Amino acid sequence: MKIGDTTAHYIKQLLHVATEAGADANQLLADADLNPMELEDDDNRVDLTYLMRLGRGAIRQTGSPEIGLQLGINSQISDMGYVGLAAMTAPTLGEALHTIVRYEHLNGQCYRGTSQLQVEPLQTTLSFYSIAPYNAYTCFVVDGVLSAWARLCTLLTGHTDLVRKVDIEFDEPSYADQYRQIFNCDIRFGAPRNALLFNTDDLAIALPEANQQLNARLVKQCDQLLNQVALADSYRNKVLKVLGTMLHGQTPSIDEVALKLGMPSWTLRRKLKEEDSAYQSLVDEMRRDVAMSYMKSTDLTFGEISYLLGFSTPGAFQRAFKRWSGKTPGEFRKSLSRK
């Protein structure tokens, strides 16, 4: 199952940073089983699975777990295409951040969630969704996003002290000092979210490249592109995206998912049937693929995985897992350790 996608341009950015750190790009692509031809068009969408494989390979080859931070601080406004240009020509920093969040899916999307901008009277939070559980080869994703956001704020305004605090969901890593050098503010590891925190007053900072007419044209272009993405998306994929954000300690009903999609549940059932799909089969597919991912890349207990996937009991999870894989969870994990 596809967990999301990013642009070929972003993949090439990661490869560039990795090679600068001493990695062999051709070997990284070969190990990730990614055809270089997939990267010829910067706008081509690449499955996030390849990003994760390349990140893991880059960290292993270079011995640099902080590679995500390096990816972020080398970001340029132009890397975001129309979204970056629309943000740059916005009247204020606040409008620019709203633009980046609103059109996030034009540069990448993941079924685990979407970024959020929460504006309160004194404090504003720009948050990136959770990709827990974390391991040595997944933290780079969060690092890359948060450091890129901070870098873009500086490029947009010329100010280097806008980020007041950074929240990181995973525990303090070996390269924690680099966060402090890059963000130059308080860093809280083991936080309940991944986020940059700003003083709300700073959202009113005027951008030097603001251009009302050009911004209106760019926003219109972004809207058109976003509509094209939405129209091309199947209802199957729409359901999987919503499930990815809700399947944490519970199993959402079709009524809950339909509500998120803004339609009655009977309409959603009909749309799925037209695509030769069904809601429960999508729940099982999502659970199966997430369970396999947890088994391969984490040390979570079977009870913990059972809870995260919304099973009523660990026994129910183990029976489902054997139905999916032909093996019990214990047998499956043992087979991985022998490889």
Asked whether 151 and 73 are in contact (CB, 8 A), the reply is yes
pLDDT at site 163: 98
Asked whether 222 and 101 are in contact (CB, 8 A), the reply is no
Point out which residues pair with 199 in neighbouring strands.
123
**Cβ burial 304-334 (10 Å sphere, 16+ → b, else e):** ebbbbbbbeebeebbebbeebbeeebeebee
Rounded to 5°, angle at Cα 144 from 140 and 147 = 130
Between 4 and 3, the more confident residue is 4
DSSP-H helix ranges across 75-233: 82-88, 93-102, 139-157, 176-183, 212-232
Q: What is the pLDDT confidence band of residue 2, given thresholds at 50, 70 and 90?
A: low
Domain 235-337 has CATH 1.10.10.60: yes
Tokens of 225: 């592109």
pLDDT at site 306: 87
Q: What is the pLDDT confidence band of residue 67, given thresholds at 50, 70 and 90?
A: very high
Asked whether 320 and 284 are in contact (CB, 8 A), the reply is yes
For 77-103, the pLDDT digits (tens) are: 999 999 999 999 999 999 999 999 999
Rounded to 5°, angle at Cα 7 from 206 and 260 = 75
pLDDT > 60? residue 339: no
Q: What is the DSSP letter of 159?
A: -
pLDDT at site 338: 59
pLDDT > 90? residue 230: no
**What is the average pLDDT score of the chain?**
91
In Å, how far from its chain's centre is CA 105?
A: 10
Please compute the mean of the pLDDT values over residues 259-266 and round it to a whole number. 90
For 117-171, the pLDDT digits (tens) are: 999 999 999 999 888 888 888 899 999 999 999 999 999 999 999 999 999 999 9
Q: What percent of the chain has pLDDT over 70?
A: 97
Please compute the mean of the pLDDT values over residues 279-304 and round it to a whole number. 83
Strand order in the sheet with 163-167: 116-119, 123-128, 194-199, 163-167, 186-188
Which segment of 26-30, 45-49, 249-253 scores lowest on mean pLDDT? 249-253
Distance, in Å, from the CA atom of 161 to the CA atom of 152, rounded to the nearest integer, reads 12
Q: What percent of the chain has pLDDT over 90?
A: 62
Which segment of 115-129, 183-197, 291-305 scores lowest on mean pLDDT? 291-305
| Domain boundary assignment for the chain | 1-64, 66-232, 235-337
Q: What is the pLDDT confidence band of residue 64, given thresholds at 50, 70 and 90?
A: very high
pTM over 0.85: no
pLDDT > 90? residue 110: no
Helix axes 265-274, 279-297, angle to 10 degrees: 80
Tokens of 21: 């750190």
pLDDT > 80? residue 336: no
